[in-house]
A and B are shown apart, each in its own frame.
Chain A
Amino acid sequence: MADFEPRIVAFCCNWCSYAGADGAGVARLQMPTNFRIIRTMCSARVDPEFVLRAFAKGADGVVVLGCHPADCHYIGGNYRARRRVALLRMVLEQYGFDPKRLKLEWVSASEGEKFQKTIVEFVDTIKALGPTPLQKEAN
Chain B
Amino acid sequence: MGFFDKLFKKNEKTEAAPAAEPKAEPVSTKASIQAEPPKAAEPAPAPAEKKECCCKEEPKAAPAAAPAAATEETVGLQAADLGELLPGAPAGGKIKLAIYWAAACGGCDVSILDTNERILTIGDMADIVMWPIAADGKEKDIEAMEDGEITVSIISGAIRSSENEHMVKLLRKKSKIVVAYGTCACFGGSPALANLVSGADEILDYVYTKTPSSANFQADYHADAPVIPQTSYQAPEGELTIPVLYDVVKTLDQVIDVDYSVPGCPPLQETISHMLKAVADFAYNGVALPPKGTMIGVTTKTLCEECSRKKENARITKIYEPHEVDVKDGVCLMDQGILCLGPATVGGCGGRCTSAGQPCRGCYGPTEDVQELGASMFTAVASLFPVLDEDPTCGEDEIIEIMKEVKDPLGYFYAFTLGKSLIKRAVKEKGGQ
Contacts and interface: CB of A to CB of B under 8 A. Distances in A.
B partners with A: yes
Interface stretch (B114-122, B269-277, B305-313, B396-404): B396-404
A47 interface: yes
A2 B433 contact: yes
Interface in B373-393: 374-376, 378-379, 381-383, 385, 387, 391-393
Given A84-B382, A128-B432, A90 B404 contact: yes
Most buried by B among A49, A79, A84: A49
A87 B433 contact: no
Interface in B390-431: 391-393, 396, 399-400, 402-404, 406, 408-411, 413, 421-431
Contacts of B428: 96, 133
Contact of B429 (A56, A104, A133): A133
A86 interface: yes
Most buried by B among A83, A96, A97: A83
B370 interface: yes
Nearest to A79: B387
B400 A89 contact: yes
B429 A53 contact: no
A139 B425 CA distance: 14
A86 B409 CA distance: 11
A83 B196 CA distance: 24
A129 interface: yes
Given A80-B383, A83-B382, A87-B382, A49 B375 contact: yes
Interface in A87-139: 87-91, 94-98, 104, 126-135
B422 A52 contact: yes
Contact of B378 (A2, A70, A88): A88
B427 A96 contact: yes
A49 B413 CA distance: 13
Contact of B423 (A55, A85, A90, A131): A55
A69 B392 contact: yes
A31 to B, nearest CB: 20
Interface residues of B, number: 42
B371 interface: yes
Contact of B432 (A1, A47, A86): A1
A45 to B, nearest CB: 11
A32 to B, nearest CB: 15
B372 interface: yes
B378 A95 contact: no
B5 to A, nearest CB: 14
Contacts of B381: 87
Interface string B187-202: 0000000001000000
A37 B413 CA distance: 29
Nearest to A82: B399
Contact of B370 (A49, A69, A89, A133): A49
B392 A70 contact: yes
A49 B376 contact: yes
Contact of A87 (B391, B403, B411, B427): B403
Contacts of A95: 196, 410, 423, 425-427
A98 to B, nearest CB: 5
Contacts of A104: 396
Nearest to A138: B248
A3 B392 CA distance: 40
Given A70-B392, A83-B402, A47 B379 contact: yes
A33 B424 CA distance: 30
A134 B423 contact: yes
A83 B409 CA distance: 13
18 contacts: A4-B433, A48-B375, A49-B371, A49-B422, A56-B422, A56-B424, A80-B382, A83-B385, A83-B403, A90-B403, A90-B404, A94-B408, A94-B409, A95-B425, A96-B426, A97-B427, A132-B427, A133-B428
Given A52-B372, A94-B409, A134-B427, 9 more contacts: A1-B433, A4-B432, A47-B379, A49-B370, A52-B423, A86-B382, A87-B381, A87-B409, A127-B432
